[in-house]
Structure 1
Amino acid sequence: MTGGQQIPVSRVEWKGAVRIIRSAFPPIDLFEDIADPADWPLLISAEQKTNPRIMVTIGNLDLVPAGRRVGGDGASYLMAPFTHASTDRPSRFTDGSYGVLYVGNVFETALFETIHHHARFMIRTAEAPGWSSQFREIVLSVGAELHDLMGADAANHPALDPGSYQASQGLAVTLKAEGADGIVYPSIRHQSGECAALFYPDCASDPIQGRHLDYHWDGTRVDLVRDAGSGEVFRVMDIP
């Protein structure tokens, strides 16, 4: 796989970008605390004396360079994808040995991306039809210099193969080793959308929780999405 010198770098500034995550993942108190991230190792060491399970909640802090950690309100939504990376959960731009924060430039893009991956999970588990899972919308800002795959020939780029992660993971490993902050690329599940794969939590900021969402599984696909707050139900049409 060619290195980053073959891919242009663009400044990406998104306000109101969206990430959708499972509601099963609660905020992590340490990341939300007012303490300076530089003090986290000492706080963790002290907390472990009375709460040996704290590392299960926090994850592996060593996966995030000290200078790129973020704290304060909403920081869990930026830090957790990196401290809870796992080779059991590979994705397009990581084999799971390091974390990636995936963001859509608009709500619809994040929605269609998560619907696709949730459907793949449901097929594997052979779950019966029904309202299967709850998700939460995270609204945030992106500000980073990202390697840009948004060119006119993007559809033919091997890293954007809709059925394989082999080339994309190889590219991401190379870029990350070269010091890249991440990748901006056209959404593979939402034709008009744009996505960012961020390699560090400080590439995003100002995360706030938005809507709670329920996904309905009809046995073959996610066919309905419900806004848990208003009760409105929306039918998922063919992905535009």
Structure 2
Amino acid sequence: MIDPETVPVRRVEWRHARRIIRSVHPPIDLFEDVADPEDWPLLVSAEQKTNPRLMETLGTIDLVPPERRVGGPGASYLMAPFTHVSRDRPSRFTIGEYGVLYAANAFETALAETVHHHARFMARTEEPEGWTSQFREIVLDLELDAHDLRNGAGAFDEALDPDSHAASQVLAAALHAAGSDGIAYPSCRNRGGECAALFYPDLAANAIQGRHLDYHWNGTRVDFYRDVTGGEVFRIDEDPA
């Protein structure tokens, strides 16, 4: 196990970072509203009386400390990863007990990461060939004091295993419990790319929607993506790393 005390902390400030999410997750009105986040519990209580499915949309707001909640335009893209949490959806830096917002320093890296995970899902469920789920590109700014796994000279390889999240989840849980902002790490899917895993929504800002994307599944892998806005289709190399 990696000792959390050996992981250096470095400032990460990325302008126009990229995150790609499924288009089935629309903006959440409450988070986009002008109301102060401190007033959300009262608004939720009132709204539930006429909209019993509200909590299904919002998720669990209590998972985010009140002082770390964000509101206003684009806030739903920052809040949703932390309010919709489930042990059925673990990832590299959480077993699903707390939320993580993942972002990359460039579009190509975000694309490679999501293509990999989408392909694994398509293969596991034996989906037929064709254009599949639509995605949204989210452009956002990040500022955090990150525990940095990018330059460990091999010391952090266990947490960067491309085929296992066991060690990274243990490390992240310890860092999260100790109050870490999050983790910066090299992309496992795009050589030279960098990613960040944020533990709180207020470490990101200015989230706006970018391109709409489609991925094409050929029965074995995702081989093309389409920019729906302009209609252009781009080939994805078989081994982007």
Q: Same fold (TM over 0.5)?
A: yes
Separation in 1 of the partners of 2:193 and 2:28? Answer: 30
Q: 1:110 — aligned with what?
A: 110
Matches within 5 A, 1:185-204: 185-204=185-204
Counterpart of 1:151, as a letter, is: N
Separation in 2 of the partners of 1:128 and 1:157? Answer: 35
Q: 1:63 — aligned with what?
A: 63
Say which SS state the counterpart of residue 39 (structure 2) adopts: helix
Q: 2:4 — aligned with what?
A: 4
Q: 1:97 — aligned with what?
A: 97
Cα deviation code 1:169-228 (max 9, x no counterpart) = 000000000110100000000001000000000111100000000000000100000000
Question: 2:182 touches 2:199 (CA, 8 Å); kept in 1?
Answer: yes
Residue identity (%): 67
Gaps of 5+ in 2: none
- Mark the CA change 1:154 to 1:234 in structure 2 (over 3 Å): closer, same or farther: farther
Q: 1:218 — aligned with what?
A: 218
Residues paired across the two proteins, number: 240
Say which SS state the counterpart of residue 158 (structure 1) adopts: helix
Separation in 2 of the partners of 1:155 and 1:225? Answer: 35
Say which SS state the counterpart of residue 176 (structure 1) adopts: helix
What TM-score does the superposition give when structure 1 sets the normalisation length?
A: 0.98
Separation in 1 of the partners of 2:223 and 2:26? Answer: 26
Say which SS state the counterpart of residue 44 (structure 1) adopts: helix
Cα deviation code 1:61-84 (max 9, x no counterpart) = 011111100000000000000100
Q: 2:124 — aligned with what?
A: 124
Say which SS state the counterpart of residue 72 (structure 1) adopts: coil
- Give the drift of 1:4: 2.9
Separation in 2 of the partners of 1:6 and 1:178? Answer: 14
Say which SS state the counterpart of residue 117 (structure 2) adopts: helix
- Give the drift of 1:97: 1.1
Cα deviation code 1:66-111 (max 9, x no counterpart) = 1100000000000000100111100000001111000000000000
Gaps of 5+ in 1: none
Separation in 2 of the partners of 1:47 and 1:154? Answer: 51
What TM-score does the superposition give when structure 2 sets the normalisation length?
A: 0.97
Separation in 2 of the partners of 1:30 and 1:203? Answer: 20
Separation in 1 of the partners of 2:179 and 2:64? Answer: 13
> What is the root-mean-square deviation of aligned Cα atoms in Å?
1.0
- Give the drift of 1:153: 1.7
Separation in 1 of the partners of 2:155 and 2:178? Answer: 25
Say which SS state the counterpart of residue 163 (structure 1) adopts: coil
